[in-house]
């Protein structure tokens, strides 16, 4: 009976993994990069590398941002201000355009939203900073995908995450020697080595994998399972949001003009209430109207939960209207901690690095899992292949998709960063062009893989990815002053920029090592007077 259970779980693990593994790889790569979303954005805006000089007090930055918005978006119903912190040295403002107002055409204009990056010390629009979506694109990519409605994308991602959860649980059940083999890796043993690598990256980071998959579903639970809220609140989602998250309801304008109170005293009052903890965001509705509100949210740094305590003030009188999140209810706190664990906003640089390594281990787990399916299937077809038959349709498809995803994705990521440095700074629709570079590079890699899914293609794409990633620090040195020489040796420029350069360099070297090992194997195989090995029938990777 036990063997029967293990076998059925192995079947379930194989198929629930295989069907979604390529989407999951994208999600894992994008999500892992998102741990350093702000740092990636900073790297992609080299004009800001010098701005990280003296920190500006939050009250001052908020006052200057409000002044900017009063000049530039007086009729907008909602303003959002992200104040500078250690990870992001600038003030970011975002507003909803007033009805009927046309888009500015400046890059930070998406849908109904306009956004600008401001100098925190002067409140001036940093117009010379290149327009890019930076790490935000990679973050959105990992649950909204691209080129499709976010709603559809989130359902797809949800289904894939559910399959992942099934694959993790069935994988644990089917792994007979989970404790005995926990440190085992046997290199140069073909299928055995791939299985060991898959097991090691899966089991050693198992707490992370379980947590990230489950909490990933929790982040979107009100979309996947809306019925509880709908029943309890009789369909009034606004009321639920107000109660659960302390979100200010968007009131209607009174029509009576009333000047907005200065925000600096409100920020000071909020900081006193939070024992000196600084605010991270300020949201203002209906500025200039008698019904205006000012909501100040504390940063979540230092607490596991993602729900930030906030204080809401009357925008015309400055009176405190409500505080929320000081003593959250247990259910709300549970959700907050789960989402917090997923996003890791609380983590300092070193803890963040631990999440990043666990995420990378997840990428390797998904990639080796996908490869294993091909390796196993190829072994089953070994006799026919040796006799000169072509690989089955499924095997060829999986091989091609594996090359396109595993070797192609690093190329796409690298292309995104290369485009960021090589496109003209003042180009129109620059962020879109960068994103097109990502998908164009990926499409080329995927199509080439479909045309010729063979060992040579693996090597070519792995080398391309390796050179493109390892070339990024060189490109950075050629196009900016904050290269590794300056950031590491002379200590100039933000440490995040050096960290980015070193990380992509290490990833490039790792890919290069993979390509090199693969090349040596191919050479060794050619040296042996092998049995007839028709072109294209050689295995994709590693089944030596």
Partner 1 sequence: MNGLAFLAALALVFSGFSTLSQTLDRHYADRNGRGSVPGTAERVRLHGLGWAALALALAACVLEQGWPMGTVAWVGMLTLGALPVVVLLSCAPALALRAAGWSGALGGCGLLALRALP
Q: Which residues are at the interface with partner 1 (CB under 8 A)?
A: 179-187, 200, 204-205, 207-208, 304, 341, 346-348, 350-351, 354-355, 357-358, 361
Q: Of the two residues 86 and 243, which places its CB atom closer to partner 1 in the complex?
A: 86
Q: And the tokens for 122?
A: 């002067």
Our CB check for partner 1 shows the closer of 66 and 347 to be 347
Name the 3-class secondary structure at 289.
strand
| Residue 41 or 305 with smaller CB distance to partner 1 | 305
CA distance 11 to 17: 10
Shortest distance, CB of residue 286 to partner 1, whole angstroms? 38
Closest approach of Cβ 128 to partner 1, in Å? 36
Q: Count other C-beta atoms under 10 Å from residue 535's C-beta.
A: 8
CA torsion angle 72 77 83 89 (round to 10): -50
Cβ neighbours of residue 336 closer than 8 Å, sequence gap 6 or more = 304, 305, 306, 307, 328
For CA atoms 122, 123, 128, 133, give the dihedral sign. positive
* Residue 487 beta carbon to partner 1: minimum distance, rounded to whole angstroms: 18
How wide is the angle at C-alpha 368 spanned by C-alphas 442 and 345, nearest 5°? Answer: 70
Task: Give the span between the Cα atoms of 269 and 427, in whole angstroms.
Answer: 43
Strand partners, 118: 91, 125
Shortest Cβ distance from residue 192 to partner 1 (Å)?
A: 12
CA distance 295 to 322: 9
- In this complex, which beta carbon is closest to partner 1, that of residue 359 or of residue 453? 359
Contact 135, 34 (CB under 8 A): yes
Kindly state the smallest distance separating residue 189's Cβ from partner 1, in Å.
11
Least gap, CB of 358 to partner 1 (angstroms): 5
Closest separation in Å from C-beta 180 to partner 1: 6
Which C-beta is closer to partner 1: that of 50 or that of 520?
A: 520
Nearest to partner 1 of 364, 445 (CB atom): 364
Cβ-based nearer residue to partner 1, 105 or 187: 187
Among 246, 436, 429, 210, smallest CA distance to 324 is for: 246
Q: How far is the CB of 74 from partner 1 (least distance, A)?
A: 43
CB of 510 to partner 1, least distance (A): 13
Shorter beta-carbon distance to partner 1: residue 157 or 365: 365
Residue by residue, what is the 3-state secondary structure of 107-154? Answer: CCEECCEEEEEECCCCCCECCCCCCCCHHHHHHHHHHHCCCCCHHHHH
CA-CA distance, 165 to 422, in Å (whole number)? 40
Q: How far is the CB of 490 from partner 1 (least distance, A)?
A: 21
Q: Can you tell me the distance from the alpha carbon of 429 to that of 406, in angstroms, rounded to the nearest whole number?
A: 29
Closest alpha carbon to 308 in 331, 325, 322: 325
Specify the residue, 149 or 334, whose C-beta has the smaller distance to partner 1: 334
**Residues whose CB is less than 8 angstroms from the CB of residue 149 and which lie 6 or more positions away in sequence, other chains included:** none
**Helical pair 150-174 and 206-219, crossing angle rounded to 10 deg:** 150
For partner 1, give the closer residue by CB, 100 or 187.
187
Nearer to partner 1, 259 or 348 (CB): 348
Quote helix, strand, coil % in the chain, to nearest 5. 60, 10, 35
Shortest CB 450 distance to partner 1, Å:
34
């Amino acid at each position: 009976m036990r063997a029967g259970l293990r076998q059925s779980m192995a079947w379930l693990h194989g198929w629930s993994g295989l069907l979604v593994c390529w989407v999951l790889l994208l999600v894992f790569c994008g999500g892992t990069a998102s741990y350093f979303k702000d740092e990636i954005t900073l790297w992609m805006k080299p004009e800001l590398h010098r701005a990280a000089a003296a920190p500006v007090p939050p009250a001052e930055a908020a006052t200057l941002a409000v002044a900017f918005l009063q000049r530039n978006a007086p009729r907008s119903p909602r303003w959002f201000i992200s104040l500078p912190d250690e990870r992001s040295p600038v003030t970011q403002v975002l507003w909803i355009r007033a009805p009927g107002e046309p888009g500015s055409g400046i890059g930070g204009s998406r849908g109904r939203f306009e956004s600008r990056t401001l100098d925190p010390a002067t409140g001036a629009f940093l117009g010379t900073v290149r327009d890019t979506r930076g790490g935000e694109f990679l973050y959105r990519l990992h649950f909204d995908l691209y080129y499709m409605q976010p709603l559809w994308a989130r359902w797809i991602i949800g289904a894939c995450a559910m399959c992942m959860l099934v694959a993790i649980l069935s994988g644990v059940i089917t792994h007979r020697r989970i404790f005995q083999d926990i440190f085992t890796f046997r290199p140069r043993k073909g299928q055995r080595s791939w299985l060991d690598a898959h097991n090691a990256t899966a089991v050693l980071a198992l707490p992370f994998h379980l947590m990230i998959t489950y909490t990933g579903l929790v982040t979107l639970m009100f979309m996947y399972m809306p019925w509880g809220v709908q029943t309890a609140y009789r369909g009034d989602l606004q009321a639920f949001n107000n109660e659960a998250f302390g979100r200010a309801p968007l009131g209607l304008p009174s029509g009576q003009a009333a000047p907005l109170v200065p925000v600096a005293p409100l920020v000071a009052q909020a900081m006193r209430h939070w024992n000196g903890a600084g605010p991270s965001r300020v949201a203002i509705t209906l500025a200039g109207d008698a019904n205006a509100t000012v909501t100040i949210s504390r940063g979540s740094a230092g607490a596991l939960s993602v729900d930030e305590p906030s204080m809401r003030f009357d925008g015309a009188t400055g009176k405190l209207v409500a505080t929320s999140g000081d003593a959250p209810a247990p259910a709300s706190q549970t959700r907050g901690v789960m989402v917090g664990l997923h996003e890791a906003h609380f983590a300092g640089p070193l803890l963040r690095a631990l999440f990043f390594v666990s995420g990378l281990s997840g990428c390797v787990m998904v990639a080796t899992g996908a490869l294993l399916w091909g390796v196993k299937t190829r072994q089953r077809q070994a006799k026919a292949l040796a006799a000169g038959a072509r690989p089955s349709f499924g095997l060829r498809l999986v091989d091609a998709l594996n090359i396109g995803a595993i070797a192609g994705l690093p190329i796409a990521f690298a292309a995104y960063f290369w485009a960021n440095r090589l496109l003209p700074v003042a180009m129109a629709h620059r962020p879109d062009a960068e994103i097109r570079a990502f998908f164009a590079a990926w499409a080329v890699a995927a199509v080439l893989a479909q045309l010729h899914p063979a060992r040579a293609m693996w090597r070519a794409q792995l080398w391309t990815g390796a050179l493109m990633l390892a070339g990024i620090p060189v490109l950075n040195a050629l196009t900016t002053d904050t290269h590794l020489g300056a950031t590491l040796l002379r200590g100039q420029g933000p440490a995040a920029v050096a960290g980015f350069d070193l990380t992509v360099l290490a990833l490039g070297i790792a890919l290069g090592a993979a390509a090199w090992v693969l090349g040596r194997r191919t050479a060794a195989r050619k040296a042996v007077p092998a049995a007839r090995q028709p072109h294209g029938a050689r295995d994709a990777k590693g089944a030596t």
